[in-house]
């Protein structure tokens, strides 16, 4: 109120660096709109280090959205970096070539954070040049198809989220993981394939949080991946499907390694198993974690919503009767 009465524009009086920082939190269309406020703001938006394109603000006006996106990209101050690039689509308004050109511009300007979330019906493929971006620190992908990749080199990447990403070949998962040696936070949701977790040549020496939501999972092969994560502290797993191989259950015990992964014996503090169906292989994996995670503080079992009360009770009895190697472990059953 005091500002309105005095008529003093205190915001415009702020230094450019502070104004640009404030604008970097806004979607690009809103940032561009500030250019009409006054001469003080006319050129400021060209230096904002964030490009945030969201076609939801353009309804179904494809041509208008694409023209605006190119205007944002091409009118920028070429001396300024693009630290953050975000593309979100609800209406499938953009072609593959457009998205790739916008992204390539961001990569040329030393982008550090990329978020891609096209419409689920857009059929946009992951631009493969992203996978060799040496400056990239955060990569968040959703509703994309991964195909045709040959090299992955992301030495600075610390955070990788993938949700609803479809891999045309199973080996692409391994390639991407192997190309991120300095990852700290890995989350994969709704992965449309059977994860085998084949042993990887790389060691994830910085990875402390790993979260997977997959349709099929071989628990004992997951331990092979854990061998590559010596400092892992938080493991969250969600298996979407109950289906397992009958022969796998019979051979499960002899598949578990005699040498316990290092993260279990010294670092894993939280383990959460979501959508727990209670098959023998599921229960044996939970017990294996509790018997080998020496510093585990919390073990959470969240049963499938389709499980009956009787089945839930049976699962609880089987797991709770096995003592945890960790004296401070809390078993939470939901």
As beta bridge partners, residue 216 has: 194
What's the token pair of residue 184?
Answer: 């700290």
Intra-chain end-to-end CA distance of the chain, in Å: 50
User: pLDDT digit string (tens) for 207-244?
Assistant: 999 998 877 666 766 777 888 899 999 999 887 765 54
Q: Choose between 115 and 54: higher pLDDT.
A: 115
Q: Name which of 65-69, 98-102, 113-117, 278-282 the model is least confident about.
A: 278-282
Percent of the chain with pLDDT over 90: 28
Q: Categorize the per-residue pLDDT at 260 as very low, low, confident or very high, splitting at 50, 70 and 90.
A: confident
pLDDT at residue 155 greater than cutoff 90: yes
Q: How far is CA 127 from the centre of its chain?
A: 17
Alpha-carbon distance of 88 to 76, in angstroms, equals: 20
Segment 141-167 mean pLDDT: 92
Which of 7-11, 215-219, 270-274, 327-331 is least confident? 7-11
Residue 156 binned pLDDT confidence (cut-offs 50, 70, 90): very high
Average confidence (pLDDT) over 6-12:
62
Task: Quick: pLDDT tens for 108-119.
Answer: 999 999 999 988
Given a cut of 90, whether residue 133 has pLDDT beyond it is yes
Q: Is the pLDDT of residue 158 over 60?
A: yes
pLDDT band at 180 (very low <50, low <70, confident <90, very high): very high
Q: Is the pLDDT of residue 21 over 80?
A: no
3-state SS of the chain is CHHHHHCCCCCCCCCHHHHHHHHCCCCHHHHHHHHHCCCCCCCHHHHCCEEEEEHHHHCCCHHHHHHHHHHHHHCCCCCCCCCEEEEECCCCCCCHHHHHHHHHHHHHCCCCEEEEECCCCCCCECCHHHHHCCCCCEEEEECCEECCCCCCCCCCCCEEEEECCEECCCHHHHHHHHCCCCCCEEEEEEEEEEECCCCCCCCCCCCCEEEEEEEEECHHHHHHHHCCCCCCCEEEEEECCCCCCHHHHHCHHHHCCCCCCHHHHHCCCEEEEEEECCCHHHHHHHHHHHHHCCCCCEEEEEECCCCCHHHHHHHHHHHHCCCCCCCCCEEEEC
């Amino acid at each position: 109120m005091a500002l309105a009465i005095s008529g003093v524009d205190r915001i415009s009086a702020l230094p450019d660096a502070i104004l640009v920082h404030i604008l970097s939190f806004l979607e690009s269309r809103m940032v561009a709109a500030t250019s009409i406020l006054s001469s003080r703001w006319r050129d400021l938006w060209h230096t904002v280090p964030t490009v945030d394109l969201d076609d939801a603000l353009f309804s179904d006006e494809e041509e208008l959205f694409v023209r605006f996106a190119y205007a944002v990209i091409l009118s920028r101050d070429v001396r300024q970096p693009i630290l953050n690039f975000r593309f979100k689509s609800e209406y499938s308004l953009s072609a593959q070539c457009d998205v790739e050109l916008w992204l390539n511009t961001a990569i040329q300007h030393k982008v550090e954070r990329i978020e891609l979330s096209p419409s689920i019906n857009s059929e946009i493929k992951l631009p493969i040049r992203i996978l060799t971006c040496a400056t990239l620190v955060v990569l968040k992908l959703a509703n994309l198809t991964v195909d045709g990749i040959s090299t992955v080199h992301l030495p600075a990447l610390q955070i990788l989220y993938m949700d609803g990403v479809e891999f045309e070949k199973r080996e692409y998962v391994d390639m991407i993981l192997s190309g991120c040696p300095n990852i700290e936070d890995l989350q994969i949701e709704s992965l449309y394939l059977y994860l085998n977790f084949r042993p990887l040549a790389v060691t994830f020496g910085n990875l402390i949080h790993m979260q997977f939501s997959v349709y099929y999972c071989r628990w004992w092969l997951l331990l092979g991946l854990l061998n590559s994560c010596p400092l892992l502290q938080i493991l969250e797993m969600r298996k979407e499907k109950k289906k397992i191989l009958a022969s796998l259950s019979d051979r499960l015990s002899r598949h578990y390694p005699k040498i316990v992964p290092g993260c279990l014996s010294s670092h894993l503090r939280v383990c959460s198993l979501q959508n727990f169906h209670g098959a023998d292989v599921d229960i044996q994996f939970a017990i294996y974690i509790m018997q080998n995670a020496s510093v585990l503080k919390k073990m959470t079992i969240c049963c499938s919503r389709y499980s009956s009360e009787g089945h839930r009770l049976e699962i609880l009895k089987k797991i709770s009767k096995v003592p945890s190697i960790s004296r401070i472990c809390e078993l939470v059953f939901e």
